Structure 1
Amino acid sequence: MFYQKFRASIKLKNIVGYVNEFNHLITSKQSKNEQLQHKLQILVSNFCMEKLPRSANVFGDISGRKFERIPMNEREQKEEKFQDTEAHVPRRLKPSLGQYAKMIKSHISKNDLNSALQVLDLMKENRDKPTMYLYNLLLYGLAKQGDIKQCFSLYNKAKKYGLQPNAATYTSLFNACALSDNSEVALKHLNRLRKSLYEWQFLLNDAHYNVMVKAYSWHGQIVKAFQLVDEMRDRRIPIGEITYNSLFHGAISDKKAGMRHALIVWHLMRMKNIKPSLITYNLLLRAIRDTNLGNLKSDDVLLSGFDQTRISVLEGEKPDLLASPPTLSTLLSMEKEQNIMQRDTDVTVQKSVNLNDVLIRNRLILFGGVEGFLNRMSNDGIIPNIKTITLLLDLIPNTISAENILIKTAEEKNIKLDIDFFNMLIKRRSIRFDYKAAKEVISIAEKKGLSPNIMTFGVLALGCQELMQAQEFLEGIEVFGYKPNSVIIGTLVDTACHKKNFGYLLFMMRYMTENRTRPTAQTIEIVKKFSEELPKIKKLKATSKYRYRKLKCLEDNIEKFKKQYPKWQKLIKE
């Protein structure tokens, strides 16, 4: 009995507790609602143009009041218009950011930059925001084409959309300046961008410096290129082979004293124990071929403060400015003719000798000759390629013996010569009027399993000095399945005009009309100039000791040309 009463009292207390807790929740909720309503009234009163009534519980008093309308800005209007007018594309039907990137890469690999740029338009249609990575891909492709205008336009557009450019962005912009054809515009943008990065205190890395050195070097600003390398050294940024190769480009741009700069770069690499590559050696050969030594003379120090770079004059040594220390020879006389390539490394050097004169006579004589240069490459573990041999062809003495030794050297080093090398050899021999030796090159190429191309016939045309040779040459082209182009025809016409061979010239004019070969503007000008000089030719021949038959033949040819020339002019205009 007692237990049942005790249990009932406990239940009653619990019920009373629940009721009190429920009443407390209701009252607290009402107080919160009143507080929220009070805050809303304050918020509304800030935007309302009329004062609120004293009692907000009267229904209908607030509905008639006027509120101030705040106009939207231009960006908000565009967004609202876009939301209202454009259809929303489901996510599953749109490409992902990775797929957009693959599309851009595919177009860039095909050199289709217009299609790559259209990917941005596709993203806009799909309501996708491009990332800086996608912009960097486009900048990379445009920079390879040297398109400065388009690159900086994309760069500014990315910044306008709130994207943050990174290190790769500036590398592409510098590279666009380096590869541009317009030096004035490129240097203007390059200097401006470089100044901006310094003002922003943007941290430049080795890639930025290397591409800037390349840009200044390729546009002939060799002094600024060296200044950048000094800046890299001061900032303790590693200077490697790529940087030095860029400096070689700068040296090549200076035709008067570029070889001196190239020697400075070469000895800097040697002092820093940086191993040259095949690219380095090929650039060095370009510098030897295209530039001079400036005012360099014996006993000069190439690197200030480093006596080991002083040019010393030794007796009984081959001259080699690439050695450490650089040396010149005092043994043999310069007046001795150097005809064979193995003997082209001995030269007398006196204080009064101009080294540029020695360099012009034989480009490799001061650098160990061909044999010494190739041995130096071998000691560095560098295997020459076809480009190396082609560059050496421009540097060796202009003799058959030197050319044959170079071909033999290539065979010994297992370098496969291509038809382009032999085309250059044919042109080289034709320019020195050794047409017989030029034709022999064809048999050498055929022994190596090479077939002539249209360029081969273009250089062989230089050797067609007579009408019969031209006829045989044109028949040979057709046998190989080629058709003479306007350049080959122009070479033959130029030879006929130069030789004043009317039969040769009339044959070529008929050949062009029969085969409907359109001459170049240069060829038309050559024939026009020849026609204007006909009175001088006739007068010159008449006063010479020519027999009557030859004089009569000349007059007949002139008449034939006068009749044929107007017809030929009409046919080439059709």
Structure 2
Amino acid sequence: MAADGILPDIKTFSILLKMMPHDEDQEQCLIRTMDALDVAPDVGFFNQLMKKRASSRRNAAAKSAFRELEARALQPDVASFGCLAMTVRNGRDLASFWETLRAADVRPNVEMLTTLLNSAVRAADPQRALAVMEAFIEHQVAPERRVLLQLEELRLNLRQMTVAAERGRPPPRAAQQPSFADSVRKFLLRYPRWLAEVHVERERHPFRQYAVRPLAETVAAAGLSGAEEAPPQRRPSLPADG
């Protein structure tokens, strides 16, 4: 590129980041190269880096990228916090995430909370799931249908783990915590009441946009009123027979 007089820009480095292997040293080398060429990484670049690292379970490295974003005096956007939510793997991570949101005066949205809940469900962590469920209520965020499916999956999983423990089977890692049984009890008690309290966001079918709307709905959407409608046409009178 240099031989042709073409200088790389932020898009060039974003493509390179996407193509390179999951290696923190190479990623940091790429950032140093950008600095040397006076190409400033923007928020979108760091979001891409955080998502790349979090997707490969390099959570500490993803958090480090978030800190570097802030150290460069860049303002994290909603997507930045969404990527940071991907790094939450335990209760301590969740408490730190809440604190980060409060410090930035950012309200969690449905994508962040869904990501957090998905992590809790996969870990069979009822205590963390309860904390995220309460966040839906506190911040008045309507969960999507997939959230209900995740919670139902967790409920069934916890039931099976409880039955297995009663039959003397070795408990899984998640059930080895001293407070696990109490957390399961609290989740199973809270879950039906939470369903009654929360407003579920109905997913819009992709073909809905092609549906034919009733005439009255179409008129209302166009902002027309009865006063604006054209008056009915009078039927012309016929000449009298002479």
TM-score (normalised: structure 2): 0.74
Match of 1:392 in 2: 16
Q: Is the 8 A contact 1:423 1:459 kept in 2?
A: yes
For 1:326-405, what aligned pairs fall within 5 Å after superposition? 377-405=1-29
Cα deviation code 1:45-101 (max 9, x no counterpart): xxxxxxxxxxxxxxxxxxxxxxxxxxxxxxxxxxxxxxxxxxxxxxxxxxxxxxxxx
Q: Is the 8 A contact 1:487 1:520 kept in 2?
A: no
Structure 1 CA distance for aligned equivalents of residues 93 and 84 of structure 2? 11
Residue identity opposite 2:138 in structure 1: E
Cα deviation code 1:90-133 (max 9, x no counterpart): xxxxxxxxxxxxxxxxxxxxxxxxxxxxxxxxxxxxxxxxxxxx
Aligned-residue Cα RMSD (Å) equals 2.1
- Percent of paired sites with the same residue: 26
Match of 2:226 in 1: none
2:101 is the alignment partner of 1:473: no
Residue identity opposite 1:395 in structure 2: M
Match of 1:461 in 2: 85
For 1:191-270, what aligned pairs fall within 5 Å after superposition? none
Q: Is the 8 A contact 1:486 1:519 kept in 2?
A: yes
Match of 2:61 in 1: 437
Structure 2 CA distance for aligned equivalents of residues 559 and 397 of structure 1? 44
Structure 1 CA distance for aligned equivalents of residues 169 and 90 of structure 2? 25
Residue identity opposite 1:482 in structure 2: V
2:149 is the alignment partner of 1:533: no
Check 1:562–1:390 CA distance in 2 against 1; reply closer, same or farther (3 A cut): same
Q: Is the 8 A contact 1:496 1:505 kept in 2?
A: yes
Residue identity opposite 1:514 in structure 2: E
Rg (Cα) greater in structure? 1
Check 1:386–1:545 CA distance in 2 against 1; reply closer, same or farther (3 A cut): closer
SS in 2 for 1:456: helix
Structure 1 stretches of 5 or more lacking a match? 1-376
Residue identity opposite 1:570 in structure 2: A
2:190 is the alignment partner of 1:564: yes
TM-score (normalised: structure 1): 0.33
Structure 1 CA distance for aligned equivalents of residues 72 and 197 of structure 2? 43
Structure 1 CA distance for aligned equivalents of residues 47 and 89 of structure 2? 19
SS in 1 for 2:21: coil
Check 1:387–1:540 CA distance in 2 against 1; reply closer, same or farther (3 A cut): farther
Residue identity opposite 1:530 in structure 2: L
Report which structure shows greater RCO (CA 8 Å, sep ≥6): 2
Structure 2 CA distance for aligned equivalents of residues 545 and 529 of structure 1? 18
* Structure 1 ranges of 4+ moved more than 6 A: none
Residue identity opposite 2:186 in structure 1: K
Post-superposition offset of 1:545: 6.2
Match of 1:495 among 109, 112, 119: 119
SS in 1 for 2:19: coil
Post-superposition offset of 1:569: 0.7
Residue identity opposite 1:517 in structure 2: V
Cα deviation code 1:446-502 (max 9, x no counterpart): 332212111111001111111122122112112112100000000110111111111
Structure 1 CA distance for aligned equivalents of residues 2 and 147 of structure 2? 48
Post-superposition offset of 1:513: 1.6
Structure 1 CA distance for aligned equivalents of residues 164 and 116 of structure 2? 24
Residue identity opposite 1:391 in structure 2: I
Check 1:380–1:550 CA distance in 2 against 1; reply closer, same or farther (3 A cut): closer
